[in-house]
Structure 1
Amino acid sequence: MTAPDRIGRLFLLLSLAYAWMVRIGAWRADALPIAVKAHGRRAMSLAQYGWDLLCDALRWQRPLFQTFLALLMTAFPSPSQPESESVRY
């Protein structure tokens, strides 16, 4: 590896993008909840939900992208009650 600091910057960029997708997904899920499948889990993750909306905003809806940029600067809302989800290994 010739430039290990580049890996750190790439990881920082990817972490920021993932957090942004999750933030947008959580914001969107408040207004339009994710469908729940028959087995009780969500049909898609918050990151995927945010990714779909962010891609559309980048391609077609520039004013909506400005809203998402402002949303990136805000903190996640505190949870009102803990949501339990089953996790399988």
Structure 2
Amino acid sequence: MKFEARRAAAALGRELGHPLTVQSILAAHGAPVGGRWQRGKLDVDQVLVVEARLLVRRLRSRPQVLGSAEVARIAAAAEHALRAAR
């Protein structure tokens, strides 16, 4: 998954004209994640693994680093980059 995150970051960076970081997140369905102290999340080699039922909560608990305009720019760049990759 780190490979895919690096590829996505490179493609988006080319579209946007500046580098950015992409975080890999794996949602595990039907299996407990982590131990007693991790509370449904685990960081494995820079990939965040979370229980699927806790995914939305984990995403909302992360600090906000982008505004809505930047999110829209990244979404448009992703759409263009993915369309070009087909």
TM-score by length of 2: 0.24
Which of the pair is proportionally richer in strand?
Answer: 2
TM-score by length of 1: 0.23
